[in-house]
Structure 1
Amino acid sequence: MTAQTVPSTSLRTRLLHDSDPVVLTLTIGFILLFVGASLVDADYVAGLIGAGFTWTAKYLGSFFQFLLLMTFFVAIGTAISRAGRARIGGMDKPEIGRFRWLSMIMCTLLAGGGVFFAAGEPVYHFVVTPPAFNTEPGSAAAIAPALAQSFTHWGFLAWAVLGSLTAVVLSRAHYSQGQPLQPRTLLYPVLGERVVSGRLGGVVDAACVIAVVAGTVGPIGFLATQMSFGLHELFGVSDGYGTQLIVLAILAGVYMTSAMTGLHRGIQLLSRFNVLLALAIGLVIFLFGPTLFLTDVYFQSMGEYVTSFFSMATLTAQTAPDWWMKWWTVFFFAWFIGYTPLMAVFVSRISRGRTVRETILAVAVMAPIATTIWFTLLGGSGIYHQLAGSFDLTEALNGFRFDVATLTVAQALPGGTWMAAAILLLTTIFVATTGDSMSYSIAMVGAGHDEPEPWVRVFWGGAMALMAAILLYMGAGQIGVLQQFIVITAIPVSLIILPSLWTGPRAALALADEQGLS
C-alpha cells in the first residue's frame, strides 16, 4: 500500500495521535456547527454574526487599533536595541536562505487578502474620500490620500502584529525553554506551566485555529468566485458553481500537496515561484504602464502615509462613519489579529538562525514596503485609468465587487487579456501559499511540535476546502458571513497576544543574555 492510498482508518489514527483532543474537538465542532446552522437557517446565522460583528467593531475597534500601534513601535524598539542581535532557535546561521525565507513571509499575509484588494481598494478610496481627508473624490488631489489609506490597512501596523513580538516570544519559549510551538505558549511567560499542560491551553489553541479557519476559508472561497468570473469574462467559460468547484478542487490539490511535502520542498517552491511571478508582472506594469505617474504617485503617497500616519490609524467612530470603520479599518485590523498566533508559529518555525532584528525588520518593515509597492502598481494603475476615463469602477466598488475591479484594472494593464490571466494565476498561487502555510501551522498547533504528520496537514487543508465548497453552494454571501466572524474571534485572540507587548522585549533580552551579547 502506497502513501497515496492511506485508508481512512489510518488517517483517523494519525489525526487522533498527532492532534490535541481539545483543539481537534472544538475546531471540528465549530466547522460542523457553522456549516450545519447555515444549512438549516442561513439568514439567522448571518444576522447573529452580523450583530456580533457590529458590536465588536463599535466597542473594541479602538482597542484593536491601540494593539497594532503599540506592537509596531515596541517591536521596532526591540529590533534596534542590543537584544536585536540575539539569534532565534539556537542556531549560529539561518536554516533557510534569505530569498526563500523572505518569499515565504511575503506570500503568507499578502495571499491572505491583499491580492483581492490591491487593485480595487485604492480606487475605492479615490472615488469615496476616506474620513481622515477632505479632498474632492475623483480629483488629482485625492490620489495620494487614497493610496495612503490603503497603505494604512496593509502596511507597517498590519504586518508588525502578525509575526514580530509574538514570534520572538514563541521562539524563546520553544527553542530555549522546551515549550510547545503552539499559541498557548504566548501565555507561558504570564501564566506558567498550567496554560501549557492544562485544558485552558487547548481552548486557547482552538480559539486561534478557529480564527485562522474563518480567515482562510474566505479567500479560498472568494478566489473560486473570482476565477469563475474571470474565466467567463476572458475566455467565455461558464460562470457558475460547477466552475467554482473545479477551481476549488485544483487550488486545494495544489496547496494540500505543497503542505504535505513540507517547508523545505513544496511550501518554499510555491512561495519562490509566486514571488518571481509577482516581480515579473510588477516589472511589466512599471516599464510598459504609466511609469512616471506610478513613480510620482508612490513617493507622494508614502509621504502622505508617513505624515498622516496617526490620523489614519487612530480614527474612531466619533470621527468617522460607523459603516466605514466597520467595513474598513476595524475589519482589516481584526482580521490580522485573528491570524497573528498561527502566523507567529509559522514565522518562528522558518526563522531559526535569524537574528531578532532580521526577523522583526523583515516582517514589520521590508514586507510592508513591498506591499505598498504592489498596491501602487495595481491600485495606482487603476486610479490612472479611472482618472483618465478609461473605465468607471464607482458603481462596482460601491457594491464591494472587488472581483470586477481586479479584472477591469488587469485588462487595462499592458498585455490586456494575457496580463489579466497572469494576475488571475498569481492570485490563485497567492491563495495557495496561504492554504499550505496555514494547513502546516494548524497541524503544528495540534501536534505541538515542528514536524506534524503529512496526512494531518492534508486533512486540515481538505477540511477548509470542503467548508468553502459547501458555503459556495449556498451562495457567496455565506462566505462573507464567515469573514465577518473573524472580527468576533479577534476578541479572545487579542487578549492572547496582548502580553507580547512586554513579554516580547523581555524574551529578546533573555536570548541576548543567554548568548552573552552585551
Structure 2
Amino acid sequence: MTAESVPATGAKSRLLTDSDPVVLTLTIGFILLFVGASVVDSNYVAGLIGNGFTWTAKYLGSFFQVLLLLTFFIAIGTAMSRAGAARLGGLDKPEISRFRWLSMILCTLLAGGGVFFAAGEPVYHFVVSPPASGAEAGTSAAVAPAMAQSFTHWGFLAWAVLGSLTALVLSRAHYGQGKPLQPRTLLYPVFGESVIQGRLGGVVDAFCVIAVVAGTVGPIGFLATQMSFGLHELFGVTDGYGTQLTVLAVLAGVYMTSAMSGLHKGIQLLSRFNVLLALAIAAVILVFGPTLFLVNTYTQSMGEYMSSFFAMATMTSETAPAWWMKWWTVFFFAWFIGYTPLMAVFVSRISRGRTVREMIVAVAVLAPIATTIWFTLLGGSGIYHQLAGTFDLTEALGNFQFDVATLTVAQALPGGTWMAAAILLLTTIFVATTGDSMSYSIAMVGAGHDEPNPWIRVFWGGAMALMAAILLYMGAGQIGVLQQFIVLTAIPVSLIILPSLWTGPKAAMAMAREQGVA
C-alpha cells in the first residue's frame, strides 16, 4: 500500500511520524520565529534582514553569478557528451508523457515570479535603462536592451541552475544507489553515508526547505494583493485585506486539493490547463496585438541577449549602481539558488525514464526560450504602449508596483477587460501549481521517499498560505522582507549545490557506463 492509498484517519496520525524531526523542528521553528518576531517588532526584523540582504549582495553576488554560469555551461557540455544518452532511473521509457512533463517543468518555475514580473520588468528596464545599456531610457533604442536584461534574469542561467546538474546527482544516487530523494543526497558523493544518516543531513534539508518556504510565500502573498487590486479595477470588488484573504483561501483550496490527488493527477491537470491557457493568450496577443513590433523586438532582443550575455551576467557593483545589482540581478540569482535543491528533487522525480540530454535541454534550453517569448509578448506589449503614450508606468514601476503594471498592460492588450481577467486567472493557476509542486517536494524531503503522506502535503500548503495571510495582515511590506530573506538562505544553499559542478557530470557518466551507452 502506498501513501496515496492510506485512509485519511491513518494518514493524519502519520503526519509527524512520516516527517524528519530535525527538518520539521527547524522549519516550523523558523516560521514561528519569523512571524512572532515580525509581530513584536516588524521594523527590527525588516532592518536586520535588509542589512543581511545588502551584505550578501555586495560580497557574494559575484559568487552567485559565477555559480550560475558554470552550472549552465557544464550542464550543456554534459548533455552533448556520450553520457547524454543515459536514462534517469533506469527505465526504458518515461513515466510521464512529454507534453505533461514539459508543462509541469514550465509551470513550476515560471509561477514563482515569472508571470508576476513578465509585464512589468521589461517596461521597468525600458524607462530606467539598465547599466549594461548605453541607450537613452524611453527611446526606441532602449527596447532591445530592456528585453535582453529581463532575459538575463529569467533565461538560460536561471533555469539551468534549477534542475540540471543537481537533478543528475539526485537521480543517480536515488534510483541507482537507493539514497533518499532529499537535498542532503546532493552531498552524498562528497561526505558519503554520514550526511545521509546523521543530523547534518537534517540541517541541510531544513535550510533548503526554509529557502523554498521564503521563496514561495512571497508569490502567494503578492498574488493575493495583485488579485485584490485587479478585481477592484475590473469589477469594483473592494480592494482590502478581506478580499486578499478570500483569494488566499481559494488559492490554498485549489492547490491543497490538487496535492491530495497526487503527482499523476492534480499537478499534471493544473499544469496542462495553464499551458493551454497561456498558449491561447499568447496567440491572441500575437495575432491581434502589435505583431510586427513584437516579432522584431524578440529578434533584436535575443540578438542583444546573445551578444551581451557575459557583460550582463557578470556585471558587479563596481560597474553598476549597488542598489540596482542588489534589487535585480543578485536578488533573482539568489532566489533561483534558494529554490534549486527542491526544484531538483521535483525535476528528478518527474523525469524518470528521460535521457540526461532530454532533461537538460528541456530545463536549460527549451524552458528559457519559452520564458523569453512570454516576456516579449507581455513586456514587449507594455513597452509598445509605453512608447505610444497609451499609458505611463514610470511612477508605478519606480515604486515597484508590479501589480499595477501587470493590470495596466493587460487592459491594453486585445480583449481589454476579458484579457486582463484571463491573465489574472493564469497567474492564479500558475501560483497554485508552484504551491502544489513545492508542497509535494517539501513533503518528499521530510518523508525521505517518493510518495509522501498526502496530509503532509496539505499541511505544508496550508502553512504557507497561513503565513502569507498573517504577513499580509501586518502589511504587504512584510512579504517583501521575507522575499529578501531568500537571498540570505542562498548562502548555505549555494554551498550545498556547489559540488554538483563536478558530481553532476560524474553521475551522468556513471549512469551511462551502467547502461552500456558510454
Instruction: Give the TM-score normalised by the residue count of structure 2.
Output: 0.98
SS in 1 for 2:89: coil
Q: Identity percentage over the alignment?
A: 85
- Partner of 1:259 in structure 2? 259
CA distance in 2: counterparts of 1:151 and 1:260, whole angstroms: 35
- Partner of 2:497 in structure 1? 497
Spell out, residue by residue over 1:317-336, the C-alpha distance to the aligned partner (whole angstroms, 9 max, x if none).
Answer: 10000000000000000000
Q: How does 1:133-282 map to 2 (within 5 A)?
A: 133-282=133-282
CA distance in 1: counterparts of 2:6 and 2:187, whole angstroms: 38
Contact 2:86 2:355 in 1 (8 A): yes
- Partner of 1:442 in structure 2? 442
Question: Post-superposition shift, 1:13?
Answer: 3.0
CA distance in 2: counterparts of 1:364 and 1:430, whole angstroms: 20
Q: How does 1:300-311 map to 2 (within 5 A)?
A: 300-311=300-311
Question: Post-superposition shift, 1:11?
Answer: 6.0
Q: Tell me which amino acid in the other structure corresponds to 2:192.
A: G
Question: Post-superposition shift, 1:5?
Answer: 10
CA distance in 1: counterparts of 2:450 and 2:326, whole angstroms: 37
RMSD: 1.1
Q: Tell me which amino acid in the other structure corresponds to 1:291.
A: T
Question: Post-superposition shift, 1:101?
Answer: 0.1
Q: How does 1:69-84 map to 2 (within 5 A)?
A: 69-84=69-84
- Partner of 2:457 in structure 1? 457
SS in 2 for 1:424: helix
Contact 2:12 2:455 in 1 (8 A): no
Q: Which runs of 4+ in 1 moved over 4 A?
A: 3-7
SS in 1 for 2:451: coil
Contact 2:11 2:454 in 1 (8 A): no
Matched, 1:86 2:82: no
CA distance in 2: counterparts of 1:161 and 1:258, whole angstroms: 27
CA distance in 2: counterparts of 1:254 and 1:12, whole angstroms: 20
CA distance in 1: counterparts of 2:255 and 2:7, whole angstroms: 18
Question: Post-superposition shift, 1:253?
Answer: 0.3
SS in 1 for 2:353: coil
CA distance in 2: counterparts of 1:312 and 1:464, whole angstroms: 34
CA distance in 1: counterparts of 2:226 and 2:93, whole angstroms: 42
Spell out, residue by residue over 1:246-288, the C-alpha distance to the aligned partner (whole angstroms, 9 max, x if none).
Answer: 0000000001111111110000000000000000000000000
- Partner of 2:129 in structure 1? 129
Q: Tell me which amino acid in the other structure corresponds to 1:418.
A: W
Q: Tell me which amino acid in the other structure corresponds to 1:116.
A: F
CA distance in 1: counterparts of 2:15 and 2:83, whole angstroms: 39
Q: Tell me which amino acid in the other structure corresponds to 1:256.
A: M
- Partner of 1:382 in structure 2? 382
CA distance in 2: counterparts of 1:329 and 1:55, whole angstroms: 15
Q: Tell me which amino acid in the other structure corresponds to 1:23.
A: V
CA distance in 1: counterparts of 2:162 and 2:7, whole angstroms: 37
Q: Tell me which amino acid in the other structure corresponds to 2:338.
A: G
CA distance in 2: counterparts of 1:77 and 1:238, whole angstroms: 53
- Partner of 2:340 in structure 1? 340
CA distance in 2: counterparts of 1:212 and 1:443, whole angstroms: 12
Over 3 Å counting, the alpha-carbon distance change for 1:141 and 1:487 in structure 2 is: same
CA distance in 1: counterparts of 2:306 and 2:161, whole angstroms: 18
Matched, 1:95 2:95: yes
CA distance in 2: counterparts of 1:36 and 1:13, whole angstroms: 27
Over 3 Å counting, the alpha-carbon distance change for 1:5 and 1:246 in structure 2 is: farther
Question: Post-superposition shift, 1:29?
Answer: 0.3
- Partner of 2:396 in structure 1? 396
Is 174-183 or 258-267 further displaced after alignment?
Answer: 258-267
CA distance in 2: counterparts of 1:222 and 1:43, whole angstroms: 20
CA distance in 1: counterparts of 2:261 and 2:76, whole angstroms: 34
- Partner of 2:108 in structure 1? 108
Q: Tell me which amino acid in the other structure corresponds to 1:467.
A: M
Q: Tell me which amino acid in the other structure corresponds to 1:462.
A: G
- Partner of 1:508 in structure 2? 508
SS in 1 for 2:390: coil
Contact 2:116 2:406 in 1 (8 A): yes
Q: Tell me which amino acid in the other structure corresponds to 1:140.
A: S
CA distance in 2: counterparts of 1:265 and 1:378, whole angstroms: 30
CA distance in 1: counterparts of 2:7 and 2:506, whole angstroms: 48
CA distance in 2: counterparts of 1:62 and 1:204, whole angstroms: 23
CA distance in 2: counterparts of 1:14 and 1:417, whole angstroms: 47
Matched, 1:43 2:58: no
CA distance in 2: counterparts of 1:14 and 1:246, whole angstroms: 30
CA distance in 1: counterparts of 2:181 and 2:209, whole angstroms: 13
**Structure 1: gaps of 5 or more residues:** none
CA distance in 1: counterparts of 2:12 and 2:512, whole angstroms: 43
- Partner of 1:323 in structure 2? 323
CA distance in 2: counterparts of 1:442 and 1:455, whole angstroms: 12
Spell out, residue by residue over 1:44-98, the C-alpha distance to the aligned partner (whole angstroms, 9 max, x if none).
Answer: 0000000000000000000000000000000000000000000001100000000
- Partner of 2:350 in structure 1? 350
CA distance in 1: counterparts of 2:236 and 2:7, whole angstroms: 37
CA distance in 2: counterparts of 1:472 and 1:225, whole angstroms: 8
Q: Tell me which amino acid in the other structure corresponds to 1:282.
A: A
Over 3 Å counting, the alpha-carbon distance change for 1:12 and 1:28 in structure 2 is: farther
CA distance in 1: counterparts of 2:388 and 2:62, whole angstroms: 38
Contact 2:11 2:453 in 1 (8 A): no
Q: Tell me which amino acid in the other structure corresponds to 1:422.
A: A
SS in 1 for 2:354: coil
CA distance in 2: counterparts of 1:257 and 1:71, whole angstroms: 35
SS in 1 for 2:14: helix
Question: Post-superposition shift, 1:15?
Answer: 1.6
CA distance in 2: counterparts of 1:227 and 1:90, whole angstroms: 44
CA distance in 1: counterparts of 2:149 and 2:185, whole angstroms: 34
CA distance in 1: counterparts of 2:36 and 2:433, whole angstroms: 28
CA distance in 1: counterparts of 2:260 and 2:331, whole angstroms: 32
- Partner of 1:52 in structure 2? 52
Contact 2:149 2:312 in 1 (8 A): yes
Contact 2:254 2:432 in 1 (8 A): yes
CA distance in 2: counterparts of 1:258 and 1:282, whole angstroms: 26
**Structure 2: gaps of 5 or more residues:** none
Question: Post-superposition shift, 1:235?
Answer: 0.4
Q: How does 1:449-488 map to 2 (within 5 A)?
A: 449-488=449-488
Matched, 1:423 2:432: no
CA distance in 2: counterparts of 1:494 and 1:136, whole angstroms: 36
- Partner of 1:362 in structure 2? 362
CA distance in 2: counterparts of 1:115 and 1:293, whole angstroms: 21
Contact 2:105 2:347 in 1 (8 A): yes
CA distance in 2: counterparts of 1:386 and 1:455, whole angstroms: 47
CA distance in 1: counterparts of 2:101 and 2:248, whole angstroms: 27
SS in 2 for 1:390: coil
CA distance in 1: counterparts of 2:131 and 2:340, whole angstroms: 27
Spell out, residue by residue over 1:469-500, the C-alpha distance to the aligned partner (whole angstroms, 9 max, x if none).
Answer: 00000000000000000000000000000000
- Partner of 1:22 in structure 2? 22
CA distance in 1: counterparts of 2:280 and 2:6, whole angstroms: 35
